[in-house]
Amino acid sequence: MTHLQDFAGRSALVTGAASGIGAAAAKALAARGATKLFLVDVDGAGLDALDIPGEVHRITGSVADEALWADLEPRLTGLDHALVNAGIGSGGPIASISFAEWRRVMDVNLDGAFLTLASSLRAMGTGGGSVVVVASVTGIKPVPGIGPYGVSKAAVAHMARIAAVESARKGIRVNAIAPGGVDTAIWESGEDFAASVAAIGREATIKAMAKTTPLGRFATSEEMADSILYLLSDAASNISGHVMVSDGGFTL
């Protein structure tokens, strides 16, 4: 019997694949049998550095670029799985950030997620499939100082729910995951994080932030990838429109 979390013979799209959660998910998909991967990121060098077996298509560019999707979508026909993961951080209170900064974040985190999701759903057609959109606990629990990021993540979580309803009769499941603290490079854009790193160092800053969660630690990208692959897999065949919170208890 085929294991329910086996991706043998499947194709998958992963955005934000050059590092962090995206890279961990891409590696995990390949390790569990996925035979064709489409990996998208603005960091071409990071994509090239990934050591992943099988048929791997590395696409360098912004997920917010319509031309990228116009070129890539025909190649995605028959797609089985998609991870809508690319995103950027933001720092500063809502009252003090510029509109340009607001749009910079929304361009990637919301518009880019829309373009990725829409292209993926069209590529899957009526053949079924599964999608996971990476949201954030900052889209559930208000966190000061990163307003545009939190708003964008609340929006993509609801976009996933809407897509789940619209796509259900085509056999396509759409879910979201809302990570809490994960030690990835996205923290570097936060003003408070940068100030703390300057004062006490990065490792001490991460440890201090982790104390705000009941479990007292940050998750790893590999842990997030395991949860994402569960939602993408046949083991979650009756789950759609769900936002899985994986935050060590932060939102309690």
Edge-to-edge strand list for the sheet holding 243-246: 55-60, 36-41, 11-15, 81-84, 129-134, 172-179, 243-246
Residue whose pair of structure tokens reads 């996971």 in the numeric block: 132
Rounded Cα–Cα distance for residues 133 and 117 (Å): 8
Query: Is there a catalytic annotation at residue 230?
Result: no
Are 24 and 222 in contact, with CB atoms under 8 Å apart?
yes
Q: Are 251 and 141 in contact (CB under 8 A)?
A: yes
Q: Rounded distance, CA 58 to CA 123, Å?
A: 18
Q: Which residue in the list 69, 149, 187, 250 is annotated as catalytic?
A: 149
- Catalytic residue list: 149
